[in-house]
Amino acid sequence: MAELRAYVALLGGQWRSLLSYRASFVVEAITNIGGSALDVVAVLVIFRATPTMAGFTLPEAILMVSLSSCAFNLADFVVGNIERLKTYVRTGMMDSVLVRPLRALPQLVVMDLPLRKALRLLLAVGVLMVALRVNAIDWTPARVALAVVVPLAGGLFFGSIFVLSACLAFWWVDSGEVGNAFTYGGRDFTAYPVPVYAGWFRRIFAYGLGFGFVSYQPALALLGHADPLGLPGWTGFASPLVALVAVGVAAAVWRSGIRYYRSTGS
Amino acid sequence: MLTGVLTPSAGTVSVCGLAPVPQRTRLALRIGVVFGQRSQLWWDLPLRESFGLLRHIYRVPAAEHAARLRRCVGLLELDGFLDTPVRQLSLGQRMRGELTAALLHGPEVLFLDEPTIGLDVVSKQAVRSFLAELGATGAVTLVLTTHDLADIERLCRRLVVIDHGRVVHDGSIEALHSRYGSRRRLVADLDSPLPSGFTVEGATLVALEADGHRASFDLLTDAAGPVVARLAALSSLRDLSLVEPDIEDVVARLYAS
């Protein structure tokens, strides 16, 4: 409880820090919306050229991209800034965080929460609402629950990917943009139905790494649409499990990263 | 390693009876840390607000916090810049803020990593005398890592010299001097040149300059008096100075060996 209050205080500090740069905060918050709308626009553009994509109609594809966008923006808002871990390591902020009586990851997350990205998340949720309306979904209690849980599970999944790719910085301080292949690459992968990909690339990303369970499989389950790739319908409901596995892996890697942490001298 | 930031590659560490890495958050409540080159403060917030946030992080009762803050503000003269955002502070002001930040939860051990690095002379003095006073109260154990040997001479009773990960000295400064044969040096300016072949008990001649008018001796004992008397008997003394051994020389010799 006392610990929670400490995090709330930290969040307050972050908010007051932001207020010292009011104008740039407003500008950033607004320009940030553009980034979120872009993946939906990309899908709309593709459908100008073709009536269906891998056998899916426009509303169905919009449902997939909006699930992906909700999940990604949720994760990006909450833990996205952890990709700055290499900066934290380099500037010594990591050391400052580690000598405090709180856990390191929540501290870093709260101290650098990108409040300017909040609008983006709201927009993504809005698009998802529209997508759920325009598709003729046969609502059952299980599907209602799924519609609520999937964006959250996807957020957890992407959050784990963010943490995992940030952990690279523990072993490799100058890890550059390698991690982005999995975070932003994962977002782009989940924006489209899995059948548009082929071969080993599809197998690794969709099933090996689990990106297929962020938006594609759950969207099929919501729509009651059979998977052209032949996976059974219940796999759509497996996305929370996949997310939990990802969280477990991320937590373990983070912990061993902290153990391995060598600081940067002084 | 002592604060739980790094995991030792071998061996064990115990601070306040706790193992730093596995019990990091518990230990953090009992120690304070000042990094000369890293900050505990919020860049965009005034010092006062940073201190307020730390109060929540360390869960310090408001009254205790206020009392400690008052004391630090008084001793370190923070009054003038408590409401200035940290990014606008000078290094010396910031370091005084860092010291306060590390003490507000009443730690048993205060670790200081290069606390005077890059400071101007006045701030350096202020920080040193604050730490000396703090150490003298006996309420806090100070652990200092520094390359500034003046810090050591002013503040440390026990000195551990580490060279490439090995302890090469552990003891007082005096012990270090006697072990590595540092001597006080007597420099005498004489009216008439020192005769060649001159020797004196209790000192060895190490240098003769200015055509024999300036002679330097290393004192072998604590007593400089007899040596001075011998010299005075020989020639009238124009000037005399006694140079204390320089710890930097000792440490340099230690690392070279």
Most confident of A30-34, A108-112, B66-70, B187-191: B66-70
- Please write the tens of the pLDDT for every residue from A20-62: 777 887 887 777 776 667 778 888 888 888 888 888 889 899 9
Q: Is the pLDDT of residue B169 over 90?
A: no
Q: Mean pLDDT throughout B45-74? A: 89
The percentage of chain B sitting over the pLDDT mark of 90, rounded to a whole number, equals 2
Q: Is the pLDDT of residue B56 over 50?
A: yes
Residue, of A152 and B119, whose pLDDT is higher: A152
CB-CB under 8 Å, B57 with A99: no
> Kindly report the CA angle at B138 between B134 and B142, in degrees rounded to 5?
60
Name the band, by pLDDT with cuts 50, 70 and 90, for residue A174.
low
Residues of B in contact with A9 (CB under 8 A): 52-53, 56-57
Chain B touched by A261 (CB under 8 Å): yes
In a domain, A266, yes or no: no
Sketch the domain layout of chain B as residue ranges. Answer: 24-156, 183-256
**Pick from B24, B36, B59: which is nearest to A6 by CB?**
B59
pLDDT given at position A1: 67
- Please write the tens of the pLDDT for every residue from A104-132: 888 888 888 887 788 888 888 999 999 99
Q: Mean pLDDT throughout B17-42? A: 84
In a domain, A122, yes or no: yes
Q: Mean pLDDT throughout B172-198? A: 75
Please tell me the pTM assigned to this model. 0.77
Up-side HSE of residue A160: CA atoms within 13 Å toward CB? 22
The mean-pLDDT minimum among A74-78, B52-56, B237-241, B244-248 falls in B244-248
Residues of A in contact with B34 (CB under 8 A): none
CB-CB under 8 Å, B5 with A95: yes
Most confident of A80-89, B31-40, B84-93: B84-93
Question: How far, in whole angstroms, is CA B75 from its chain's centroid?
Answer: 19
pLDDT given at position A156: 94
CB-CB under 8 Å, B5 with A99: yes
Q: Is the pLDDT of residue B59 over 70?
A: yes
CA distance B98 to chain A (A): 11
Q: How far apart are CA A257 and CA A249, in angstroms?
A: 12
Residues of B in contact with A102 (CB under 8 A): 25, 28, 57
pLDDT given at position B234: 73
**Pick from B5, B26, B45: which is nearest to A263 by CB?**
B5
Q: How far apart are CA A128 and CA A71, in angstroms?
A: 10
In a domain, A14, yes or no: yes
In a domain, A265, yes or no: no
pLDDT given at position A71: 93
Chain B touched by A97 (CB under 8 Å): no
Task: Give the B-side interface with A, CB within 8 Å.
Answer: 3-7, 21, 24-26, 28-29, 31, 33, 35-40, 42-45, 49-50, 52-53, 56-59, 85, 113-114
Q: How far apart are CA B56 and CA B48, in angstroms?
A: 13
pLDDT given at position B16: 85
Q: Is the pLDDT of residue B139 over 60?
A: yes
The percentage of chain B sitting over the pLDDT mark of 70, rounded to a whole number, equals 97
Residue, of B52 and B253, whose pLDDT is higher: B52
Q: Are strands B214-219 and B109-113 parallel, antiparallel or unpaired?
A: unpaired
| Count of domains forming chain A | 1
CB-CB under 8 Å, A262 with B35: no
Residues of B in contact with A93 (CB under 8 A): 38
Q: Mean pLDDT throughout B231-251? A: 75
CB-CB under 8 Å, B53 with A9: yes
Name the band, by pLDDT with cuts 50, 70 and 90, for residue B181.
low
The percentage of chain A sitting over the pLDDT mark of 90, rounded to a whole number, equals 30
In a domain, A60, yes or no: yes
Residue B32: closest CA among B131, B98, B119, B122: B98
pLDDT given at position A233: 81
In a domain, A146, yes or no: yes
Name the band, by pLDDT with cuts 50, 70 and 90, for residue B165.
confident
Q: How far apart are CA B139 and CA B191, in angstroms?
A: 54
Question: Which CATH architecture best describes the domain B24-156?
Answer: 3-Layer(aba) Sandwich (3.40)
Residues of B in contact with A266 (CB under 8 A): 35-38, 113-114
Neighbours of A253 (CB within 10 A): 17
Residues of A in contact with B35 (CB under 8 A): 92, 95-96, 266
Six-digit token string for A259: 């153990």
Neighbours of A28 (CB within 10 A): 16
Q: Is the pLDDT of residue A74 over 90?
A: yes
Residue A12: closest CA among B83, B48, B53: B53
- Please write the tens of the pLDDT for every residue from A250-260: 999 998 888 88
Q: How far apart are CA B212 and CA B196, in angstroms?
A: 9
Six-digit token string for B124: 């350096």
pLDDT, averaged across chain A: 86
The mean-pLDDT minimum among A177-191, B113-127, B130-144, B214-228 falls in B214-228
Question: How far, in whole angstroms, is CA B4 from its chain's centroid?
Answer: 23
- Please write the tens of the pLDDT for every residue from A206-229: 888 999 999 999 999 999 888 888
CB-CB under 8 Å, B42 with A93: no
Chain B touched by A2 (CB under 8 Å): yes
Six-digit token string for A209: 């790494």
Q: Note down the domain range covering A66.
A: 2-260
Q: Is the pLDDT of residue A15 over 80?
A: yes
Given 1.20.140, 1.10.3470, 3.40.50, 3.30.70, which CATH number is that of B183-256? Answer: 3.30.70
Residue, of A175 and B97, whose pLDDT is higher: B97
Mutant choice from B2, B53, B60 vs A, greatest count of A C-beta within 10 A: B53
CA distance B193 to chain A (A): 51
Q: Mean pLDDT throughout B245-256? A: 74
pLDDT given at position A266: 46
CB-CB under 8 Å, A101 with B4: no
